[in-house]
Amino acid sequence: MTAPHEEMACQTCLSPLNTLGVPPTYVHPTHLATDGHEPAPVPVSQLDTVRRSCDFCGDPYPIWTLHGGEVSAITIGPTAELVQDFGHSWAACAACQTHIDEGRNDKVIDRAVRALGLANHPQARQRIEELHLAFLNARLPGRTLITTTAWPATTITAGELPKVRDRLTRFYRSTDNLPAALGITDVRQQIAAGLERSHLYWIDNDFTDLAEHAAAQLPDVRVSRDLIPSADGILIWPRPVTRWQLTAASWTDTIHGCQVVLYRTIGAGLHGKPLQRLREQVGWLAPMSAAHLPEQHLIPGDHPAAALVATWLLIAQQTAEVTTARVDKAVAKTYARTNRPVPELRIVRIRGRRTIPAPDGEPASGSQGRFQTSRFWVSGHWRNQAHGPGRLLRRPVYIHPFLRGPDDAPIRLSTTVRMLSSHQPKPQDHK
């Protein structure tokens, strides 16, 4: 059942919907250009991305939800009157929020007027001002981070990871709210403590390619403590991965398993004071989804955390070469001023190439050569490997692409091959 006042969005275009009349009819916002499809209402709590815009100025990257007065507009026509409900929760972009924090509601209205192209229409400005002030003058304390905005990707370098971790930790300990749908409101202090203890992992580009390819084929996996590379950790991919467009993940050890949070980057395209405020108050990452994984919990292959689990598995099977790198001097000085030890930064790469034996039960590339006249590529895939006491447990092991067939036979030309390199990262990867 949908809560009586739960916000709805269109499942087709991911846009929040306005309501008309009683009982409510859901309609697309009048300013939104669509292909003419009918609204398909679903609760926004069921979506990890919502095509929301700032309710003050229309900016496509809102960051905060504010709560204020219930705002409705009544349109009276020749035959009837129409009531449009704008609700008591409005989205604010970083720039509008900065003006609101400074008590400059006039600048918020200026932004709206300019965005609508109504700077030379005093009456239109007056109507907009009435609408906005009806909300702002009754605004309630507090705000909630919007985690469903699809921001452009921001590249986070290895050297920035300690600072990114610290800002995220500080946000979890702040008074700003997180959406209830994430399900981590009651454990955010525990997550913050885990981040302070966390090992830092930065995944290089080649290993990210490998992990994403492996995640697309991931079988169901049971998560256990010996699979996870450290009790608490935060991991950064250099680009968004999988259809969920994840950029980072953190995990926190708990009594009953592991608390995982998946993140997207935020703030790309902002400048000046709005960007500075966002970095100070939130940082670089916003939670997209969260899950508690009990010990031996079965993760389906299409789980949002598949890329993280695939990365864990690849590290566990020693596909990864994990080295440490120095943090930036500025970061080291910041830790020294607060009497904290400088964090250890781990760079995860693909281990140097070596000959990979064929999986158990499969003939080696040179065997039975008399029956084969060419070599062909076997795609990367997962297979179950015995492990644990008595080798009674099973864990997926990723088999890299390999050539099957006689060593001196030609490679079948019809095969498309995508190779993953194991080059050393450029110097700037460590900065």
Average pLDDT over the chain, rounded to whole?
A: 81
Confidence class for position 409, pLDDT limits 50, 70, 90: low
The answer to whether 219 and 309 are in contact (CB under 8 A) is no
Confidence class for position 83, pLDDT limits 50, 70, 90: very low
Q: How far is CA 382 from CA 111, 408, 418, in A?
A: 53, 28, 17
Q: What pLDDT does residue 228 have?
A: 92
d(CA 297, CA 252) in angstroms, rounded, equals 15
- Compute the chain's Rg from CA coordinates: 26
Confidence class for position 107, pLDDT limits 50, 70, 90: very high
Q: Is 50 exceeded by the pLDDT of residue 9?
A: yes
**Taking phi first (over 0 means left), then psi (-120 to 50 degrees means alpha), and beta for anything else, what does residue 368 get?**
left
**pLDDT tens-digit series, residues 284-327:** 999 999 999 998 888 888 899 999 999 998 888 777 788 888 88
**pLDDT tens-digit series, residues 144-197:** 999 999 999 999 999 899 999 999 999 999 999 999 989 999 999 999 999 999
**What's the mean pLDDT in 206-223?**
88
Confidence class for position 73, pLDDT limits 50, 70, 90: low
CA-CA-CA-CA dihedral for 218, 220, 222, 227, to nearest 10: -10
Give the residues across from 64 on adjacent strands: 92, 145
d(CA 227, CA 181) in angstroms, rounded, equals 28
Task: For residue 122, give the H/E element and its range.
Answer: helix 122-136
**pLDDT above 90: percentage of residues in the chain:** 38
d(CA 82, CA 138) in angstroms, rounded, equals 24
Listing DSSP states for 6-43 in one string gives --EEETTT--B-EEETTTTEEE--TT----SPPP-EEE
The answer to whether 93 and 63 are in contact (CB under 8 A) is yes
Q: Is 90 exceeded by the pLDDT of residue 273?
A: yes
Q: Is 50 exceeded by the pLDDT of residue 141?
A: yes
213-217, 338-342, 392-396: least confidently modelled range: 392-396
**pLDDT tens-digit series, residues 109-125:** 999 999 888 877 888 88
Confidence class for position 384, pLDDT limits 50, 70, 90: confident
Half-sphere exposure of 39 (CA within 13 A, CB side): 20
